[in-house]
Structure 1
């Protein structure tokens, strides 16, 4: 996620440069044809076309941003429930060596859980982070299709063993179970966003309309702009292409691109808070790299 004061034009240009160069040469060809040919193109209602296209692109960007913002809300809820989970298990379990050991284990399992969830959403291997946090290579959860959900299942079984041992009562167990349900609900919302793309019409038609508008743009402007048509038309087209790219950048908030949510920073924050809760040193907070927080 870009955390600087403003997005970098260079990054936007890098994504749209090929279309922009093609647009410039098309504008140049239209301008040359206008001056050497007796044929004059009819006036085009570019204002109507541009207004309609702006509404379509605006609607698409709003839809993409809604997905991005919902993803951020879900991860914010995960941060809160993580702190509540650590506080509950450490407070409810008995202050004995075995009770403290189980509490520390449950907290570390939750740290492994958020790292596994981050990796799953980014289509990365969760094994290195889980093995680092739990300090073992023997993790049956990694054999499951959904390792993060496997960690939650194992945590629930450990809590039930604590109930059978008389370490926590059923009311306390119900309270912790509610926190696990909140985690599962947040995870389900993230997976829904990740696995459900925008409908094909949202993805295809705005691209077709934008490209068509960019093709018609110099034809409608050449009579007014004259020799400045290649520059003016390319600049106007770039604005529409940039708005189109914004929708593409925001549609998957859980990727590993500069515009996506800083999941590594969020999970590092959770790990730091929970490590300090069990008396372990917190990892250094994530810092922006070249104005980008990952």
Structure 2
């Protein structure tokens, strides 16, 4: 995620880091070059494009702008939903730290539970980013009695495995009488909310925006940008490549931004900073246990991963 103070008007105009421009620059240059070729054909009288009107492109441009607006709104809604879910994860983990202290105090099992909570947070990040099991998830529970790394790696859903281990710990407390059924129910409600967050995030990953929307937008944007020079050549003269470049920047940029935001858990600059959020969770857990908390992650070149 891009994290920076908002620059002034001039700085914002020429900002490069975090801009969508590097991604779409080849497409823009291709449209600009094609527009120059079309204008050259017109200027050197190989073909007269002045008989073509720009009016149809105006109507098509309005329709395309509306459709791109819908596409970007849908993508941003997915990005914001992902951010809300990870914000809820932070809230739930802090609530677990507080509730577990009220019910268990300094009982050794409380530390084991919170270690599995930390592992769940990192494992969820790895699953959503399709990176496997992060090292932080293994490190969080490496010293847990009976921990089997090979068993953990065999799981199809490692985050769910972490929550099951917490369930086993609560069952032991219940059977030993160290925690009554009311306390178990109270803790289980908090852990169930971690399951809710996990399921909501998995839904975002497994149910992307229908491919037909992306395909229609991609094709229409390219067709529009490459046909536009034919409508401008007869009236805009050698300004045709410049106007085509500006239009290409707008439409290609909106399309690329929508594609990036619709998958909020990736590793692109505009994706969510899951690693930093997991570090916030580790800090909350360490402070709840009275341990020395790790340092929060800092942006690297205005990018927070």
For residues 119 and 113 of structure 1, the distance between their equivalents in structure 2, rounded to whole angstroms, comes to 10
Deviations 1:132-168 (A, max 9, x none): 1123472333221111100001101110110111111
1:232-271 counterparts in 2 under 5 A?
232-271=243-282
Partner of 2:3: 3
Give the C-alpha shift of residue 52 in structure 1.
Answer: 0.4
* Pairing 1:23-62 to 2, within 5 Å after superposition: 23-35=31-43, 36-40=45-49, 41-44=51-54, 45-62=56-73
Q: Distance in 2 between matches of 1:38 and 1:276?
A: 74
1:68 matches 2:79 = yes
Corresponding residue for residue 13 of structure 1? 21
Superimposed CA distance per residue, residues 221-258 of structure 1 (whole angstroms, 9 cap, x where no aligned partner) = 22231111111211221111111111011010011111
The answer to whether the Cα contact below 8 Å between 1:31 and 1:227 also exists between their aligned partners in 2 is yes
Do structure 1's residue 167 and structure 2's residue 174 form an aligned pair? no
TM-score by length of 1: 0.94
Question: 1:76-134, CA deviations, whole angstroms, 9 ceiling, x for partnerless residues?
Answer: 11111101111111220155xxx2x1111111110111011111111113252122112
What are structure 2's unaligned runs of at least 5 residues?
Answer: none
Alpha-carbon RMSD across the aligned residues, in angstroms, is: 1.6
2:193 aligns to what?
A: 182
Distance in structure 2 (CA, Å) of the matches to 1:170 and 1:141: 29
Map 1:91-130; keep pairs closer than 5 Å: 91-93=102-104, 95=106, 99=107, 101-130=108-137
Deviation at 1:38, TM superposition (A): 4.6
TM-score by length of 2: 0.91
Contact 2:233-2:240 within 8 A present in 1 as well = yes
Distance in 2, matches of 1:210 and 1:128, equals: 42
Kept after mapping to 1: 8 A contact 2:52/2:234: no
| Worse-superposed segment, 184-193 or 8-17 | 8-17
Contact 1:127 1:142 in 2 (8 A): no
Answer whether contact 1:94 1:167 (CA < 8 A) is retained.
Answer: no
Change over 3 Å in CA distance of 1:37–1:158 after alignment to 2: same
Is this contact kept in 1: 2:20–2:257, CA < 8 A?
A: no
